[in-house]
C-alpha cells in the first residue's frame, strides 16, 4: 500500500495567499511601476530626513547598504547555483 503524498505547507495555504494578494493593485505597465517606485523612494527619503533631522548623511547610509549587499552576493550566487542549476 502506497503512503499518501504529503502536501507542502505553502501549497496548503495557497488560498490564503491568493486572497491576500487580491486586495493589492499591481502596476499594469513597467512605466507605471517605475513611477510608483520613484514616488515611494521620494516619500521614504522625506521621512528619513524628517526623523533624523539631517544628523545622518544619506550617502553614508547608502554606502553601508552597498557594502552589506556586496557581502550577501556570494551567498545569493551559491544558492542560485544550488537550486536552479541543472
User: Is 20 within the bounds of a domain?
Assistant: no
Query: pLDDT tens, position by position, for the chain (86 residues)?
Result: 677 778 777 778 888 888 888 888 888 899 998 998 888 888 887 877 777 776 667 777 778 878 888 887 888 788 888 888 75
DSSP annotation of 13 reads T
Q: Domain for residue 1, yes or no?
A: no
For residue 6, is it within any domain?
no
Provide the number of structural domains found in the chain: 1
Residue 61 lies in a domain: yes
**pTM, to two decimals:** 0.39
Asked if residue 7 belongs to a domain, the reply is no
Domain contains 59: yes
Residue 76 lies in a domain: yes
| Residue 85 grid coordinates | 542549476
Please check whether residue 18 lies inside any domain of the structure: no
Query: Domain limits at 50?
Result: 28-84
Amino acid at each position: 500500500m502506497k503512503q499518501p503524498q504529503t502536501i507542502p505547507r505553502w501549497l496548503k495555504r495557497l488560498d490564503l495567499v491568493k486572497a491576500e494578494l487580491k486586495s493589492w493593485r499591481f502596476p499594469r505597465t513597467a512605466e507605471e511601476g517605475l513611477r510608483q517606485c520613484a514616488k515611494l523612494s521620494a516619500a521614504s527619503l522625506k521621512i528619513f530626513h524628517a526623523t533624523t533631522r539631517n544628523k545622518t548623511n544619506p550617502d553614508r547610509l547608502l554606502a553601508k547598504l552597498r557594502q552589506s549587499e556586496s557581502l550577501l552576493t556570494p551567498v545569493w550566487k551559491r544558492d542560485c547555483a544550488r537550486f536552479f542549476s541543472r
